[in-house]
Structure 1
Amino acid sequence: MSGAGFLLTVNFLIAQCFCMFFLAVSARSRNRVAARWFAGAFAVASLATIFELLVAYVPPPKPWAILAFASMLGGMFMLRVGIGHLYGLKTNRAALVAIFSAFVALDVMIYDLPRGTLEHALPYQTPFAVALGMCAWAVWQARVKSFVDRALIVLLAVTSAHFIVKGFAAVLAGSGTTAKDYLASQFALVSQSMGAVLIVAVGLMLLCVLVLEIVAEEKVNAEIDPLSGLLNRRGFDNRVDGLMIEQGPHSIVLCDLDHFKSVNDTHGHQGGDAAIRAFGEMLHAAAPQGALVARIGGEEFVLFLPRTGRDAALLFAHALRATRAVSPIPGLPPGVRVTSSFGVAEIGQIEPLRFAMRRADDALYAAKAAGRDRVHEAEPPAVVVEAFKIVN
């Protein structure tokens, strides 16, 4: 087996590995359709290596050479469809099929032209360059482009351009006078090596995009409370520091469902879950833009209201209390109402968040002790701030 033949075999195995990798990623990715198109693209393109080997060993060579061209080009067009799914772009599949068919017809027309000439080399390589150029353009059209997306654009553009360069290199270096002679040429060895490196790089970059998306989604899921749909304590803690540095004042509102244990005892855990879910939906719908809303305990919730002073925070808490007091809860009997209590604290200018949370918690406890279904304002932060100054 020639060196080019050995590389063709290696390229086939690499493509099959990428096919399996993309299928594995599709099991966890929300872009599973894109991942499956990528898997199919590498599987179809890998057939070109088999057909090119058949050119050398199974006459007549023409059908195998055309099938090699069509399978490689088809894999690239499938890559374009997958990229459309990945970035949420509309893909005119009928147009892609028409372009693909025209390029295959072009390959049939130029097959008998003398190899090693621009008349044959450029029309043969240009369809590959066009297909990958379309892929690069599709990524460029995406609204949000991370560093990895930009790197993918560059890589696809370079891979596209390299096919045009190959057209000229085939003339300068010599690629044989027939399709069979190509495999024995030095040009084939270099061409297959360069193609393998670039295609592997494209595959790795696409895998990187999908894996990063899975990691980001898992991170978000780890910070979301599945019952209420709000942030959990970890999600709240990870985000609140970034809002604290903004110009104040800021306020904290702690909320707690009243007599929650009796709801569980009377209506079961499903009834309790329904109460938490309904309260979480109400907080999410009512929270102003930029606010953080989280479930930080069994029936305890917190709102961080950036750029909101005590008066506005108190009015907001009173509105929440009134809404919860009269709203029915889906899943519970129509006459059942579950009220809630609130503790409100404006965060002092240099007060640590944990101190404000403690004051809001004390106010919430006072609202519970006073009969529940109430809003209590926390004590001012002066005392705790002075204590903080002394300690530090």
Structure 2
Amino acid sequence: MSGAGFLLAVNFLIAQCFCMFFLAVSARSRNRVAARWFAGCFAVASLSAVFELLVAYVPPARPWAILAFASMLCGMFMLRVGIGHLYGLRTNRLVLALVFFAFVELDLVIYDLPRGTFRHALSYQTPFAVALGMSAWAAYRAQAKNLVDRALVVLLAVTSGHFLLKAFAAVLAGSGNTARDYMASQFALISQSMGAVLIVAVGLMLLCVLVLEIVAEEKVNAEVDPLSGLLNRRGFDNRVDALKAQPGPHSIVLCDLDRFKAVNDTYGHQGGDAVIRSFGEMLKAAVPVGALAARIGGEEFVLFLPQTGKEAALLFAHALRANRAVSPVPGLPAGVRVTGSFGVAEIGGNEPLRFAMRRADDALYAAKNAGRDCVREAEPPAVVLDVVRQAN
């Protein structure tokens, strides 16, 4: 086997590996459709290597040469469809199909042109450059700001441009007088070497985009309470410091659902889950943009309201209490109402968050002791600190 034939075999195996990688990633990625298109892209494009070998060793050469061209080009158009799914872009597959068949027809027309000429080389390589250029343009049009996404755009553009450079290389290095001569030409070594590098680069970059999305999604899932749909304690702790660093004032609202154990005892855990789910949906709909809402205990919730003073926080808590008091819970009898008790604290100056949370918690207990279904304001930070000093 010639050096070019060996590189064709290597490129085929590399493409098959990437096909399996993308299929594996599709099992976990929310962009599983895109991952499957990428797997198909590498699987179909890899057939070009098989057909190139058949051109050299199994006459007649013409059908194998056309199939080699068509399989590579089809893989590139499948890449464009996958890019569309990856970035949520609309893809007109009919147009892509028409362009594909037009390029295959062009390859049929130029097949008998003298090889080693710029006319033949440019006509042969341009369809590949156009197909990859469409993918680069689609990824660019998505305006993704992630560094890896931008790197993918650059890599696709470079890969597109390299096909035009290959047209010059085919003329300068010589690609043989016939399709069967290609395998023994110097250009075949150049072409397959460049192809191996770019196959690996594009495949790794696409995998990187998908894997980073999986990691980001797993991180989000680890910080979200699946029942209420709100942040959990970890998600709240990971985000609250950045909001607290903004210019104040800020406020904390703690809420505890009233007599929640009685709900579980009467209607079972499914009834309790319905209450948590309903309250979580209410909070998500009510919290202002930029605020944090989290479930930090069984039936306990916290709200961080950035750049919000205690008066506005109290009004907000009263609105939540009133809404909860009159809202039915889906899944429970129509007359059942589950109320909530609220404690509100404005964070003072450089007061640590845990102190403000403690004051809001004391206010919450005061609301419970006052008969539940009410809102209580926390003592000012200075009062709490004085009490702590006296206790010490």
Please give the TM-score of this superposition, normalised by the length of structure 2. Answer: 0.97
**What is the match of residue 246 of structure 2?**
246
* Amino acid in structure 1 at the alignment position of 2:258: D
**What is the match of residue 29 of structure 2?**
29
* Amino acid in structure 2 at the alignment position of 1:119: R
Residue 256 of structure 1: how far off its partner (Å): 0.2
Contact map agreement 2:52 2:68 (CA 8 A) in 1: yes
**What is the match of residue 297 of structure 2?**
297
* Amino acid in structure 2 at the alignment position of 1:182: Y
**What is the match of residue 271 of structure 1?**
271
Residue 143 of structure 1: how far off its partner (Å): 3.2
**What is the match of residue 104 of structure 1?**
104
State whether structure 2 residue 131 is matched by structure 1 residue 131: yes
The 4+ residue runs of structure 1 with deviation greater than 4 A are: 383-389
Deviations 1:158-211 (A, max 9, x none): 111111011011111111111111101122112101111012101110111111
Secondary structure of the residue aligned to 1:91 is: coil
For residues 6-85 of structure 1, the aligned pairs below 5 Å read 6-85=6-85
Residue 330 of structure 1: how far off its partner (Å): 0.8
Contact map agreement 1:350 1:385 (CA 8 A) in 2: no
Contact map agreement 1:310 1:346 (CA 8 A) in 2: yes
Residue 145 of structure 1: how far off its partner (Å): 2.7
Deviations 1:103-136 (A, max 9, x none): 1111111111111111111100111001111110
Residue 194 to residue 287, structure 1, CA distance change in 2 (3 Å): same
d(CA) in 2 for partners of 1:213, 1:384: 45
Contact map agreement 2:144 2:150 (CA 8 A) in 1: no
For residues 173-212 of structure 1, the aligned pairs below 5 Å read 173-212=173-212
Deviations 1:283-340 (A, max 9, x none): 1111111110000000000000111111111111111111111111111111111111
**What is the match of residue 318 of structure 1?**
318
d(CA) in 1 for partners of 2:207, 2:388: 49
Higher alpha-carbon deviation: 88-97 or 378-387? 378-387
**Aligned residue pair count:** 389
Secondary structure of the residue aligned to 2:307 is: coil
Secondary structure of the residue aligned to 1:101 is: helix
Contact map agreement 2:130 2:160 (CA 8 A) in 1: yes
For residues 346-361 of structure 1, the aligned pairs below 5 Å read 346-361=346-361
* Amino acid in structure 2 at the alignment position of 1:167: A
Secondary structure of the residue aligned to 2:131 is: helix
* Amino acid in structure 2 at the alignment position of 1:33: V
Please give the TM-score of this superposition, normalised by the length of structure 1. Answer: 0.97
Unaligned runs of 5+ in 1: none
**What is the match of residue 2 of structure 1?**
2
d(CA) in 2 for partners of 1:119, 1:15: 30
* Amino acid in structure 1 at the alignment position of 2:344: V
Residue 386 of structure 1: how far off its partner (Å): 7.4
d(CA) in 2 for partners of 1:114, 1:34: 40
The sequence identity of aligned pairs, in percent, is 82
* Amino acid in structure 2 at the alignment position of 1:201: A
